[in-house]
Amino acid sequence: KDKEHKMADYSKDNKEKEENTKDKFSKLYNIDAEQLGMGIVYNQKAVGKYKQEIEQTNNRLMKMTINTTPLKTNIIDVHAPHAGRSTKIKNEIYRQLNATLDKTPKHQSNRIAGDFNAGIIERLPHEAKVLGTHRFREESTDINILSKSQLNNRERLTELCHTHKVIVSSAAFEKKQNI
């Protein structure tokens, strides 16, 4: 079941970490910081008064809603399972992500961020609406270097994009090569 969690006070350990940082205005939100997973860090001074809510489904999926104008902004943060994880685990996180996207109002400014563990490498013809033309890769590599599991992660990402009419923005602009 999806769990909705509201901002909680820091644990003693997190308070100590906050006191040792230069930016005393930052907040970390994670329902179980003892577990491996993800969190959202935001500047309390800049964003705090606009933050409406944070919902964390699990340690792989969370959503922060900010009262911006003229539209609210929803930031959905996701960490998809690596290629080697079971299909059952992948199905569950994508089910939860789809449910989150389905209940997020379409008339608001919606952003999905995180790591989908999906090697884009190149754009296939049927992906033109969801993938830009730019990728960060070596010239001699192509999609054939991906394993079946990696290709499965890639297909899950592009299917999600098609379903919800979103794009992979990191593929929309050119990146500089390593110097």
Beta bridge partners of 96: none
Q: Please tell me what DSSP assigns to residue 166.
A: -
CA dihedral 142, 143, 144, 145 (to 10 degrees): 80
**Residue 65 and residue 68: Cα distance in Å, rounded?**
9
pLDDT tier for residue 97 given thresholds of 50, 70 and 90: very high
What integer pLDDT is reported at residue 86 of this predicted model? 95
What integer pLDDT is reported at residue 49 of this predicted model? 81
> Nearest Cα to 42, choosing from 2, 77, 71?
77
Q: Are 174 and 160 in contact (CB under 8 A)?
A: no
What is the rounded average pLDDT for all residues in the chain? Answer: 78
Q: Please tell me what DSSP assigns to residue 58.
A: E
**Residue 176 and residue 29: Cα distance in Å, rounded?**
32
Higher pLDDT, 99 or 32: 99
What integer pLDDT is reported at residue 98 of this predicted model? 97
Higher pLDDT, 134 or 74: 74
Q: Which two tokens stand for residue 96?
A: 């939860």
Inform me whether the pLDDT recorded for 15 exceeds 90. Answer: no
Cis amide bond preceding 70, omega within 30:
yes
What integer pLDDT is reported at residue 16 of this predicted model? 32
Higher pLDDT, 36 or 149: 149
* Amino acid occupying residue 120: I
Residue 54 CB-density burial (10 A; 0-12 exposed, 13-18 middle, 19+ buried): buried
Higher pLDDT, 171 or 77: 77
What integer pLDDT is reported at residue 18 of this predicted model? 38
pLDDT tier for residue 78 given thresholds of 50, 70 and 90: very high
Residues 6+ apart with CB under 8 A from 41: 26, 27, 28, 29
Inform me whether the pLDDT recorded for 108 exceeds 90. Answer: yes
For residue 137, give the 3-state DSSP assignment: coil
Q: Are 156 and 80 in contact (CB under 8 A)?
A: yes
User: pTM of this prediction?
Assistant: 0.76
Beta bridge partners of 66: 51, 73
Q: What is the mean pLDDT of residues 138-160?
A: 87
Q: What is the mean pLDDT of residues 47-51?
A: 82
